A and B are shown apart, each in its own frame.
Chain A
Amino acid sequence: MIRSDVKLDTLGYFCPMPIIMTSKKIKELTLGQVLEVVSDDEGIKKDMPAWCETTGHEMVGLEEETQDTAHIYKAFVKKSK
């Protein structure tokens, strides 16, 4: 279990919305805080690390779980700049 300070629900949204929502939300955090982005778009597994690499934030980790039949992804991003 990775600890997060702020949670962002992007369930039901397709690319590029989770990334856009993340880029907006991260502005509300203070340096060092961790944002948990919850998504059911499988693309986020690759997209969130790519977003972090480009923007300079730290990808802390990714968790996957199955709720009923749906696959849920939790990406943890540490505000690093």
Chain B
Amino acid sequence: MGPTKLEPAVALAELQESKPDRVTIVVLSGDFDRVMAAFIIATGAAAMGMQVTMFFTFWGLNVIRREGATSGAKDLLRRMFGFLNKGGAGRLPLSRFHFGGLGTSMMKRVMNQNRMPGIVELRETAQDLGVKFIACTTTMGMMGVRKDTLIEGVDQLAGVSTYLAEARQGSVNLFI
């Protein structure tokens, strides 16, 4: 009997058939500006014919949580945390100059005037172009984010080995 082959979390066949360049982006941040950069790179790469996977973890989970969804956690601590850390791509704060929402809303107005897509539009465009969304189960558990509070079209719930199995095939791997 030959040596047993370890199967990675992601189907090997699926990885091997993919010839195009692969891009993986870890989205840890839930900051408006950082997430915007992540989506611009993701949509740009997808438009260039690359296969893009985005892993959402920690604050990044807020990007793929439904607007205003409650945490759904059972214990008090995580329910409180869910109350403080409301999800939804439409309510991400700027990393600087948020000023209790004033700075961010000014920035959004400027973007709107210049016909620049916002986070929600960029997210939809990314899904449109076939960008794969993966939510990190560990941080989902930690932060009391339940599966049914995520947006439609999150492709997988997974962990670090799924990320690594994809990242090792990737020529561009970013951590944002």
Which residues from chain A sit less than 8 Å from chain B, CB to CB?
Answer: 12-17, 19-20, 22-23, 50-51, 54-55
Which residues from chain B sit less than 8 Å from chain A, CB to CB?
Answer: 21, 40, 43-44, 46-50, 114-117, 125, 129
Our count of residue pairs bridging A and B at CB distance below 8 angstroms stands at: 36
Q: Which residues of B contact A22 (CB under 8 A)?
A: 47
The answer to whether residues A14 and B114 also contact, given A19-B44, A20-B43 and a CB cut-off of 8 A, is yes
A22 to B115, CA, bound (A): 17
B48 is contacted by which of A13, A14, A51 (Cβ under 8 Å)?
A: A51
Q: In the complex, what's the smallest C-beta–C-beta distance from B87 to chain A, in angstroms? A: 25
A54 to B116, CA, bound (A): 25
Asked if B40 and A19 make an inter-chain contact with CB atoms under 8 angstroms apart, the answer reads no
B47 is contacted by which of A12, A13, A14, A23 (Cβ under 8 Å)?
A: A23
Asked if A16 and B47 make an inter-chain contact with CB atoms under 8 angstroms apart, the answer reads yes
A15 to B129, CA, bound (A): 16
- For B21, B40, B50, the residue with the greatest tally of chain A CB atoms inside 10 Å of its CB is B40
Q: In the complex, what's the smallest C-beta–C-beta distance from A28 to chain B, in angstroms? A: 15
- For B40, B43, B44, B114, the residue with the greatest tally of chain A CB atoms inside 10 Å of its CB is B44
A20 to B49, CA, bound (A): 10
Asked if A55 and B117 make an inter-chain contact with CB atoms under 8 angstroms apart, the answer reads no
Q: In the complex, what's the smallest C-beta–C-beta distance from B170 to chain A, in angstroms? A: 15
Q: In the complex, what's the smallest C-beta–C-beta distance from A40 to chain B, in angstroms? A: 11
Q: Which residues of A contact B47 (CB under 8 A)?
A: 16, 19-20, 22-23, 51
Asked if B114 and A55 make an inter-chain contact with CB atoms under 8 angstroms apart, the answer reads no
Q: Which residues of A contact B116 (CB under 8 A)?
A: 14
- For A17, A51, A54, A55, the residue with the greatest tally of chain B CB atoms inside 10 Å of its CB is A17
Q: In the complex, what's the smallest C-beta–C-beta distance from A67 to chain B, in angstroms? A: 18
Asked if A17 and B48 make an inter-chain contact with CB atoms under 8 angstroms apart, the answer reads no
What are 16 A-B interface contacts by the 8 Å CB criterion? A13-B115, A15-B40, A16-B43, A17-B117, A19-B44, A19-B47, A19-B48, A20-B44, A20-B125, A22-B47, A23-B47, A23-B129, A54-B48, A54-B49, A54-B50, A55-B49
